[in-house]
Structure 1
Amino acid sequence: MTGPVVSLWRAGLTAVPDHVWQRTDAEVLILAENALTELPDTIGDFTALRTLDLGHNAFTAVPKRLGDLTGLHGFLYLHDNRLTRLPATLGRLHRLRYLNVGDNPLTELPDTIGDLAELIELRAQRCQLTKLPETLGALSRLRELRLEANSLTTLPDSLASLLQLRCLELRGNALTSLPRALAALPLLRELDLRGNPLGPLPDWLAELPALEKLDLRWTPSAPDPRLVERLERRGCTVWY
């Protein structure tokens, strides 16, 4: 049964009303689509929260006490704000299953993101990421990793440890090659490489056993027809 829900979605707020901070029993707190710029440390008192939605605001930072919300086991939305960094305390949210930090001017993710042991989906699309932490490989339950429209030039070898990964979205980055580590992903079904300045593609792509869709549109050159034939023969759709 769902517990108390506090929703001030699209309420035209520039500050959170005082009465909200009395609702520390809330299990769902929605402050999305307002004009909020500051979140007080008081947020750390909401230890019953399982879902927190702060998306579509104007936050430039979130407090370290966000890491005190260890009951979060549903969703944490931080997308479409003005965050330039995330607190390392985010790694305390060991039960969190979904994290969206997209559409922020983030240049990096904290190393502690690898401590989110239950994370199933991570979205960091349309940020300014230039690299990924090696600790991503510790997300053993991760199924979807969406990194569209960043500035990534390389991928960490630790991605080979994401044995539950189904979807890897890398559209619109600056990748010129793919690490051999990706060949170790037994459940990868969708690989989106659109708009990357890739060189020749490796033959091991055809060996990914679960691959169903490979998107290569808007890359510099067409893939080797033999690679495409091998993939399509086993049921993988290749777009180029």
Structure 2
Amino acid sequence: MTTRTDGELRAPGRGLTRVPGTAGDLAGVRLIDLAWNDLTELPSWLGGLRSLEELRLDGNRLGAVPDLTGLTALRALHLDGNRLTEVPACPPGLRTLFLYGNAVTGLPPDRLGPAAAGLRHLSLGGNRLTDVPDTLWELTGLESLNLAENRLTEVPSAVGRLTALRMLDLAHNRLTVIPPELGDLGLTDYLYLGDNAFTEVPEALAKLDRLSYLGLDANRLTRLPASLGAMAALTELRLSGNRLAELPRSLGGLARLRELHLRGNRLTALPPELTRLGELRHLDLRDNLLAELPAGMAGLTRLAHLDLRNNRLRELPADLADLPALAKLDLRWNKLDGDPEPLRRLRERGCAVLM
């Protein structure tokens, strides 16, 4: 069953195998939502719906789309989760193009040329790209760009031209170098660089002093630059699955940090400056080589979850029991001597302690 209202056709998840209606029926429609159906092809007349502003076709079985360049009113085109092997040509007014989870292997330069200059949000993640054309870096109005889960081996310095970007996802590729030009971007929401093969973080990345989320997990990092502590707006920092043996003391200056993920590194100690992170809620230190915790843990006044599984702890600092917000403490697979006094005190006030 489809739902028709004034200017809209909504029929998501109805098992449709064809677009309901005709060109005449849909002549004045502004929104078509046919996501999560069983469409394998689209009628050519779809490209003549001059009033259409948004077209949602996610989660179908489309291998191609007809020529949509005549849809001058179209602002958003959603094609995630289909079987497309190429990027469709963009209508001149398009602002949002989502193609996540298709089978695109290459991007012809003309598909991201002048006609795509109005794009603000572009998702090409989950495809089979090994490179992207230079024309992509000329889309200087982009505010979000997703190139994750491809087969990219490099990102050129030209990425620094995208100064309007607020969100950039380059995770799950085959990148070995973080271009320092990323520090020239206006990123505020997130920068995700996880699951690549980076061995170092450039000092210039610290210029992103308005960035909220930084993901560098599952790389090959052995050290972090001290300048990382200048990223004053960070609320979440993910560094799990690297080869870090120590942390820079400057991380103690990340006054807004709420989550710090360090699982699966080679840390033997923590800098005492980390105890200054008064906004920290979640601290994951599982699977490291910690033999002790720094004094001053009581400074983490908002810490609710502390994961210390599989380290080498034998004793705990007394002030661990003074963490006022701690609700869960996981100490399994350590070698604690007996039942330390701080743990008894934590249990008495209702903290869940796992040993």
Q: Which TM-score applies when normalising by structure 1?
A: 0.95
SS in 2 for 1:158: helix
Q: Does 1:118 align with 2:219?
A: no
Output the CA distance in 2 between the equivalents of 1:10 and 1:52: 14
- Comparing 159-168 and 128-137, the one that deviates more: 159-168
1:212–1:236 contact (8 Å) kept in structure 2: yes
1:192–1:216 contact (8 Å) kept in structure 2: yes
Q: Does 1:18 align with 2:155?
A: no
Distance 1:192 1:223, change over 3 A: farther
Cα deviation digits, residues 43-81 of structure 1 (max 9, x gap): 000000000000000100021111100x11000000000
For residues 60-139 of structure 1, the aligned pairs below 5 Å read 60-69=176-185, 71-139=186-254
Aligned twin of 1:239: 354
Report deviation, 1:36.
0.5
Give the structure with the higher percent helix: 1
Report deviation, 1:150.
0.2
Aligned twin of 2:326: 211
Aligned twin of 2:287: 172
Report deviation, 1:223.
5.2
Output the CA distance in 2 between the equivalents of 1:8 and 1:153: 40
Distance 1:223 1:91, change over 3 A: farther
Q: Does 1:160 align with 2:275?
A: yes
Output the CA distance in 2 between the equivalents of 1:102 and 1:9: 18
Report deviation, 1:148.
0.2
Total equivalences in the alignment: 239
Report deviation, 1:160.
2.1
Q: Which TM-score applies when normalising by structure 2?
A: 0.65
1:120–1:143 contact (8 Å) kept in structure 2: yes
Q: Does 1:48 align with 2:164?
A: yes
The letter of the residue matching 1:22 is E
1:55–1:78 contact (8 Å) kept in structure 2: yes
2:147–2:169 contact (8 Å) kept in structure 1: yes
Output the CA distance in 2 between the equivalents of 1:73 and 1:186: 26
Q: Which runs of 5+ in 2 are unaligned?
A: 1-94, 97-118
Q: Looking at CA atoms only, which structure, 1 or 2, has the larger radius of gyration?
A: 2
Report deviation, 1:204.
1.5
Report deviation, 1:183.
2.4
Q: CA RMSD in A?
A: 1.6
Output the CA distance in 2 between the equivalents of 1:217 and 1:181: 22
Runs (4 or more) in structure 1 with deviation over 4 Å come to none
Report deviation, 1:221.
3.4
- Comparing 148-157 and 176-185, the one that deviates more: 176-185
Cα deviation digits, residues 142-167 of structure 1 (max 9, x gap): 01101000000010111122111111
Q: Does 1:34 align with 2:140?
A: no
Distance 1:25 1:235, change over 3 A: same
Report deviation, 1:222.
6.1
- Comparing 216-225 and 170-179, the one that deviates more: 216-225
SS in 2 for 1:114: helix
Cα deviation digits, residues 68-96 of structure 1 (max 9, x gap): 00x11000000000000011000100100
For CA contacts below 8 A with separation 6 or more, give which structure has more relative contact order: 1
Report deviation, 1:226.
4.0
1:159–1:181 contact (8 Å) kept in structure 2: no
1:6–1:30 contact (8 Å) kept in structure 2: yes
Aligned twin of 1:224: 339
Distance 1:109 1:230, change over 3 A: same
Report deviation, 1:227.
3.2
Report deviation, 1:229.
2.6
Report deviation, 1:197.
0.7
